[in-house]
Structure 1
Amino acid sequence: MKKRYILASILALSLNACADEKAENDGVLKTEQNQEQGALERVKQYPAPIESIIDQGVEIIDTFEAPAGMIGYAGMMRGQPLAIYVTSDKEHAIVGTLIDKDGVNLTVDVMDSLVEGPRMERAWKELEESAWVADGSDDAPVIIYTFTDTNCPYCHKFREAAEPWIKAGKVQLRHILVAILRKSSMSKGATILGSDDPEAMMQQHNNAFSQGGVTVDPAAVEKGQVRVQLNTNMMQRLGFGATPTSLYKDQNGKIKSVQGMPQGDMLEQMMGSPKPE
Structure 2
Amino acid sequence: MKHLTLIASAVAVASALFAGTTVANDDNAGSSLELPKAVSDLGIPGAKVDKTFDTGLDGINGWVISVENDTNVIYTTEDGTHAFIGMILGEGGENLTQAHMEQHMENSPLASMPKRAASQDNGFTDEDEAAALAQVEENAFYVEEGSGDKVLYVVFDTQCGYCQKMYQESRAVLDEVTIRWIPVGFMGEGSLHQAAQIVDAENPTEVLATFEGGGSVSGSPSAEAMNIVSENSNLIQQLGIRSTPNTLYKDENGEAHIMRGALRAAEIRSL
TM-score, normalization by structure 2:
0.51
Instruction: List aligned pairs for 1:197-276, cutoff 5 A.
Output: 197-206=203-212, 209-210=213-214, 213-218=215-220, 220-262=221-263, 268-272=266-270
> Is the Cα contact below 8 Å between 1:194 and 1:225 reproduced in 2?
no
Instruction: Output the aligned Cα RMSD.
Output: 2.8
The structural deviation recorded for 1:78 is 5.9
> Is the Cα contact below 8 Å between 1:142 and 1:271 reproduced in 2?
no
The structure that has the greater radius of gyration is: 1
Counterpart Cα distance in 2 of 1:226 and 1:176: 14
Letter in 2 for 1:217: G
Are 1:147 and 2:148 counterparts? no
Instruction: List aligned pairs for 1:62-211, cutoff 5 A.
Output: 116-129=125-138, 130-137=140-147, 140-166=148-174, 169-206=175-212, 209-210=213-214
Counterpart Cα distance in 2 of 1:216 and 1:118: 42
2:125 partner SS: helix
Counterpart Cα distance in 2 of 1:78 and 1:246: 24
Deviations, residues 188-237 of structure 1 (Å, cap 9, x unaligned) = 0000112223223223333xx23xx331421x342311111111111110
> Is the Cα contact below 8 Å between 1:187 and 1:216 reproduced in 2?
no
Instruction: List aligned pairs for 1:45-64, cutoff 5 A.
Output: none
**Partner residue of 1:52?**
none
Deviations, residues 19-45 of structure 1 (Å, cap 9, x unaligned) = xxxxxxxxxxxxxxxxxxxxxxxxxxx
Deviations, residues 105-158 of structure 1 (Å, cap 9, x unaligned) = xxx7xxx9xx82332222112111210001222xx1111111110111110100
> Is the Cα contact below 8 Å between 2:196 and 2:225 reproduced in 1?
yes
Counterpart Cα distance in 2 of 1:249 and 1:205: 28
Letter in 1 for 2:217: T
> Is the Cα contact below 8 Å between 1:250 and 1:270 reproduced in 2?
no
Counterpart Cα distance in 1 of 2:248 and 2:269: 11
* Residue 201 to residue 240, structure 1, CA distance change in 2 (3 Å): same
**Partner residue of 1:31?**
none
* Residue 78 to residue 234, structure 1, CA distance change in 2 (3 Å): farther
**Partner residue of 1:59?**
none
Q: May I ask how many residue pairs the two structures share in their alignment?
A: 154
> Is the Cα contact below 8 Å between 1:136 and 1:172 reproduced in 2?
yes
> Is the Cα contact below 8 Å between 1:187 and 1:221 reproduced in 2?
no
* Residue 157 to residue 151, structure 1, CA distance change in 2 (3 Å): same
**Larger helix proportion of the pair:** 1
The structural deviation recorded for 1:262 is 3.1
Moved over 3 A (4+): 267-270
Letter in 2 for 1:176: I
Counterpart Cα distance in 2 of 1:147 and 1:234: 11
**Partner residue of 2:102?**
none
